[in-house]
Amino acid sequence: MPPDYSDPSDREKDRQELFRRFSRGGLARSRLRRLLQGTVWPLLIGSASAAKRLLDFTAAALLLLLLAPMMLRTILLWQATGRHVFQRTPRLGRWCREFDQLSFAPRSNRLFRIMKSLGLISLPVLFNILKGDMSFIGPRPVSPGELSPRDRMARRRYDVKPGLIGLWWLRQRGNIAYDSEAQVDRQYVDSQSVWGDLGIVLRAIPAVFYGKGSTDAPDSLTILGMPIRNLTMSEAVQAMADFLNGTQPRQVCFVNADCANLAYRDPEYLSVLRTADLCLADGIGIKLAGKLLGREIRQNVNGTDLFPRLCEALAESPHSLYLLGARPGIAEAVRDWISQNYPGARVAGCRHGYFPPEEEPAVLREIAASGASLLLVSFGAPRQDKWIRRHLPETGVKVAMGVGGLMDFYSGRIPRAPQWMRDIGFEWIFRFYQEPGRMWRRYLIGNAVFMYRVLVEKYSRRDRRSPKASNTER
């Protein structure tokens, strides 16, 4: 169909556009633009790679120079006590090139055990960085055959050199390694920059004290009298799915440092947590408490990160959910978020939490009539968990859980902390920054009180395990 040139200016615009694109000057400009695109972009990438290589080489050389006396002494000692000084472990580097990662060869002496506990056994890896096999920042160095480059998701990790620390390393120590290692590595490669690597280095400083989450930790544990099911995020989603397919109504609670402080002063709330069907570890405070008490927490299973994964599971099931709580309009905004991001997940109803006590029976009837299987209650702790305990049979749902401020985040009323703060467990600092007048007591005083109580539990248990001294002298 020919163009409609009822307006003479349209014809002139088309003529000028054709001249700009296909005249001799236009074709020359097009060729120049393609040339620049084909050379400038690779040059930029090469410059960034060269800058990172220069930083790696300089830092490795300086560290080797500073550690030279200790390294030389260790090498001489190792030569005197065994045949091999270095252990060589096959690894895959950039573009799947195989190299040997160096470390001190194992010995059956006390010095080796001390160096291993301090992480000094891996010092020879600085030679790998100096040589260019590895970088300080990058994906974890893997053995041949561990993560195949034939896997589409894992393939991208081999576009960069492996490193001593990286995004996956941070997520593990922050207990938020919910995605697969290959997915996290791809996120790193797609967004890699010198400034991004510097950010990982800075984030590694607090993360190194957290320790790595343990997948073989106990399935259940107790902190300050609160029972916690020690699940990963995927295991928690599966447990919720099992509850939804069951016949008995279930209550799910999230336990963080503030919940522990509240339960310490509120026997009714502590009773609710002790009798709930599932209590999940929420926040960096619980992780640190578990580490101090020798009960490692597998992952930070907080409601905010659980929610989208739960919506994804609901989208593939016949179950629906009901949203109750928060300010007027917030629950409706969360419903809209669900419909946009998980259109298969059905919201049976929603209602704000600012209703008078006389309307409570009508609210309960509305929830029961909706036919929802899952109820999310956002009243704040401990009110939401006590309310669920009192009214769970009347709601008619299979599963009910208190979700705190989750709805404020997904409605957009309150922005969530950036990912880099979540990686190192500093999300609470961001919340304090947003609402200092409301949060200062909870975080500045509450966190200190919580850790004090954990230390009291730790050392009181140690005292009970130690043998009692005799009151009589022989």
What band does 19 get if pLDDT is binned at 50, 70 and 90? low
Q: Is the pLDDT of residue 468 over 90?
A: no
CA torsion 321-326-331-334 (nearest 10°) is: -90
Answer whether residue 234 is part of any domain: yes
Task: Tell me the average pLDDT across 205-228.
Answer: 83
Scan for tokens 């091999």, then name that residue.
Answer: 84
Please classify residue 179 by burial: count the beta carbons closer than 10 Å to its beta carbon, then call 0-12 exposed, 13-18 middle and 19+ buried: middle
A 10 A CB-CB count for 52 gives 20
Answer whether residue 253 is part of any domain: yes
Q: On the CB side of 20, how many CA atoms lie within 13 Å of its CA?
A: 6
How many domains, the chain?
2
- Quote the CA–CA distance of 404 and 380 in Å, as a whole number: 5
pLDDT > 70 fraction of the chain, expressed in percent and rounded: 87
Written as six digits, the tokens of 245 are: 């397919």
Do 234 and 177 share a structural domain? no
Domain that holds residue 262: 220-423
Q: Is the pLDDT of residue 45 over 80?
A: no
pLDDT given at position 473: 40
pLDDT given at position 11: 62
Written as six digits, the tokens of 421 are: 């703060």
The alpha carbon of residue 400 and the mean position of all alpha carbons in its chain are separated, in whole angstroms, by 24
Going through 112-153 in order, the beta strands assigned E by DSSP cover: 135-137
Task: Tell me the average pLDDT across 102-109.
Answer: 88
Task: Tell me the average pLDDT across 283-291.
Answer: 92
- Quote the CA–CA distance of 280 and 252 in Å, as a whole number: 8
What band does 18 get if pLDDT is binned at 50, 70 and 90? low
Between 18 and 451, residue with greater pLDDT: 451
- Give tens-digit pLDDT for 357-408: 999 999 999 999 999 999 999 999 999 999 999 999 999 999 999 999 999 9
- Quote the CA–CA distance of 220 and 125 in Å, as a whole number: 38
Between 49 and 346, residue with greater pLDDT: 346
Answer whether residue 454 is part of any domain: no
- Quote the CA–CA distance of 211 and 213 in Å, as a whole number: 7
Q: Is the pLDDT of residue 272 over 90?
A: yes
pLDDT given at position 215: 56
Q: Is the pLDDT of residue 469 over 60?
A: no
Task: Tell me the average pLDDT across 79-96.
Answer: 88
- Quote the CA–CA distance of 440 and 433 in Å, as a whole number: 9
Do 407 and 279 share a structural domain? yes
What band does 410 get if pLDDT is binned at 50, 70 and 90? very high
pTM for the full predicted model: 0.81
- Contact between 273 and 222 (Cβ < 8 Å): no
Between 215 and 180, residue with greater pLDDT: 180
CA dihedral sign of residues 197, 202, 203, 209: positive
- Give tens-digit pLDDT for 118-149: 888 999 999 999 999 999 999 999 999 898 88
- Quote the CA–CA distance of 326 and 351 in Å, as a whole number: 9
Task: Tell me the average pLDDT across 62-90.
Answer: 89
Do 239 and 109 share a structural domain? no
Answer whether residue 251 is part of any domain: yes
Q: Is the pLDDT of residue 344 over 50?
A: yes
Do 224 and 202 share a structural domain? no
Q: Is the pLDDT of residue 35 over 70?
A: no
Answer whether residue 447 is part of any domain: no
Q: Is the pLDDT of residue 453 over 90?
A: yes
Do 282 and 199 share a structural domain? no
Between 208 and 266, residue with greater pLDDT: 266
Please classify residue 327 by burial: count the beta carbons closer than 10 Å to its beta carbon, then call 0-12 exposed, 13-18 middle and 19+ buried: middle
Answer whether residue 429 is part of any domain: no
- Quote the CA–CA distance of 34 and 306 in Å, as a whole number: 46
pLDDT given at position 103: 94
SS3 83: coil
What band does 164 get if pLDDT is binned at 50, 70 and 90? very high
Do 275 and 196 share a structural domain? no
Q: Is 269 left (phi over 0), alpha (psi -120 to 50) or beta?
A: alpha
Segment of 84-93, 151-160, 194-203 carrying the highest mean pLDDT: 84-93
Q: Looking at 155, 172, 207, which one is the last position of a domain?
A: 207
Answer whether residue 20 is part of any domain: no
- Give tens-digit pLDDT for 244-259: 999 999 999 999 999 9
pLDDT given at position 51: 83
pLDDT given at position 423: 87
Closest of 389, 403, 415 to residue 350, by C-alpha? 403
Do 297 and 189 share a structural domain? no
What band does 84 get if pLDDT is binned at 50, 70 and 90? confident
- Quote the CA–CA distance of 68 and 211 in Å, as a whole number: 28
Q: 251: which residues sit within 8 A by CB, 6+ positions away?
A: 272, 276, 277, 278, 385, 388, 389, 392, 399, 400, 401
Question: What rounded mean pLDDT belongs to the chain?
Answer: 88
Closest of 423, 430, 418 to residue 175, by C-alpha? 423
Answer whether residue 17 is part of any domain: no
- Quote the CA–CA distance of 400 and 403 in Å, as a whole number: 10
Stretch among 109-113, 201-205, 233-237, 238-242 having the lowest mean pLDDT: 109-113
- Contact between 389 and 382 (Cβ < 8 Å): no
What band does 81 get if pLDDT is binned at 50, 70 and 90? confident
Q: Looking at 149, 176, 207, which one is the last position of a domain?
A: 207
Do 203 and 65 share a structural domain? yes
Q: Is the pLDDT of residue 43 over 60?
A: no
Do 252 and 159 share a structural domain? no
pLDDT > 90 fraction of the chain, expressed in percent and rounded: 65
Helix axes 284-292, 446-465, angle to 10 degrees: 20
Do 300 and 225 share a structural domain? yes
Do 369 and 266 share a structural domain? yes
Stretch among 8-22, 72-86, 186-200, 237-251 having the lowest mean pLDDT: 8-22
Do 203 and 224 share a structural domain? no
- Contact between 400 and 370 (Cβ < 8 Å): no
Structure letter (DSSP) for residue 158:
G
